[in-house]
Amino acid sequence: MTGAPLPEPAASPTATDAGVPSTARPPRPRWRQTLGLLARNPTAAVAATVLLLIVLMAVFDESLAPSGPNEIAVEDRLQPPSPAHPFGTDDLGRDILSRVVLGAAVSLRVGFLAVAFALVVGALIGLLAGYYGRWVDDVLMRFMDVLFAFPAVLLAIAVLAVRGPGAGNTALAIGIVYIPVFARVTRASVLGVREEVYVRASRSVGASDFRLLTRHVLPNAAPPIIVQTSISLAFAVLAEAALSFLGLGTQPPNPSWGLMLAEGRGFIDLAWWLAFFPGMAIFLTVLCFNLLGDGLRDVLDPRQRTLMAGSGR
């Protein structure tokens, strides 16, 4: 007794199973789908647009700024905002608008460099710790815990004290501070992905560890890391401002938002615009990075994605 014979469908695949999927549209690359969904999230879309403008401003700073940022005109010192100087002038008569525009380049460059460094090192550590587990995990993550236990600013100050101030070193210092954050986020994400059946399935056809990590684990573990990147950019801009405020980051006379804030502090009663405009620039940038991060979190969540794209399985 071998059970009742069942119909053999192979010759004529039925519409329900073996045919072409009903949605007969050309496949869209995933990143384009992501952008499309992001555009439909108004908050994130606005944040992304503002950030794009800030970045463009930072890139074309020289041609955008009304005057040289370090051009001193003592006779024009501490001018309130006016048509000639929309953001006013500082105690040396320098145009604050120009300094804010040029400060964007300094602040963002440090922020991007710092986060890029933290992302590469932290994600690599988290990937290895999460995927290999056991002693690799123990060694790497205990090391991360030690790094994480230092107060962030103290650690950055220590790095700058050893290596000296400057944009590159500031980025390095902030980057080191954020390595454990990326390591943890990556590890947690990888821990989930590495147990997925499709990872085992790839191993079952002979894929190497390297292939599994680069083609399957990392792409699927990426969404939380992308969100963390966006949020960390906000914190890095703040950290740069804090370090410059303490005199350890960008050195005068070069403009950086944090440094301008520090310099304006002394005149806060006399001329509010000295601290207000760089402060607003920091506020706007950080807010936009955070909103973009939140938007990305929603868009990259596979369940949310299915709901929003309206193409459930």
Partner 1 sequence: MTDLPQGPTAHARGAPDSGVPASGVPGSDVLVSARGLEVHFPVRSGSALRRTTGLLRAVDGVDLDIHRGETLGLVGESGCGKSTLGNALLRLVEPTGGTVTFDGTDVTGLGRRGLRDLRRRAGMVFQDPFASLDPRRTVRQTVSEPLEVHGLRSGRQERSARVAELLELVGLDPAVADRYPHEFSGGQRQRVGIARALAGEPDFLVCDEAIASLDVSVQAQVLNLLRRLQRQLGLTLLFISHDLSAVRHVSDRIAVMYLGRVVEVGPAAAVGSEPEMPYTQALLSAVPVPHPALERARQRIVLGGDVPSPANVPSGCRFRTRCPYVFEPCPDVDPALQPVGAPGQLAACHLHGVVGRPVQREDAVAAE
Q: Rule CB under 8 A: is residue 74 a binding residue for partner 1? A: no
Closest CA to 157 of 144, 143, 167, 170: 170
Q: Rule CB under 8 A: is residue 149 a binding residue for partner 1? A: no
180 versus 223: smaller Cβ distance to partner 1: 223
Among 43, 49, 82, 208, interactor with partner 1 by CB under 8 A: 208
Binding string, 164-203, against partner 1, x = CB under 8 A? --------------------------------xxx-xxxx
CB of 27 to partner 1, least distance (A): 5
Q: Rule CB under 8 A: is residue 302 a binding residue for partner 1? A: yes
Q: Rule CB under 8 A: is residue 6 a binding residue for partner 1? A: yes
Residues 6+ apart with CB under 8 A from 126: 182, 183, 184, 185, 186, 187, 188, 189, 190
Q: What phi and psi, each to the nearest 5 degrees, are found at residue 95? A: -70, 120
10 versus 74: smaller Cβ distance to partner 1: 10
- Binding part of the chain for partner 1, among 6-14, 122-130, 248-256, 279-287 by CB under 8 A, reads 6-14
- Binding part of the chain for partner 1, among 21-29, 68-76, 244-252, 280-288 by CB under 8 A, reads 21-29
**Dihedral angle computed from the Cα positions of residues 138, 160, 106 and 54, in that order, rounded to the nearest 10 degrees:** 30
For CA atoms 242, 248, 250, 252, the dihedral sign is positive
- What whole-number distance in Å separates Cα of residue 229 and Cα of residue 126? 14
Among 66, 192, 219, 252, interactor with partner 1 by CB under 8 A: 219
Q: Rule CB under 8 A: is residue 307 a binding residue for partner 1? A: no
Q: Rule CB under 8 A: is residue 310 a binding residue for partner 1? A: no
Among 40, 142, 163, 211, interactor with partner 1 by CB under 8 A: 211
Among 74, 149, 205, 270, interactor with partner 1 by CB under 8 A: 205
**Binding footprint of partner 1 on the chain (CB under 8 A):** 1-4, 6-10, 13-14, 16-21, 23, 27, 30, 196-198, 200-208, 211, 215-216, 219-220, 302, 306, 311, 313
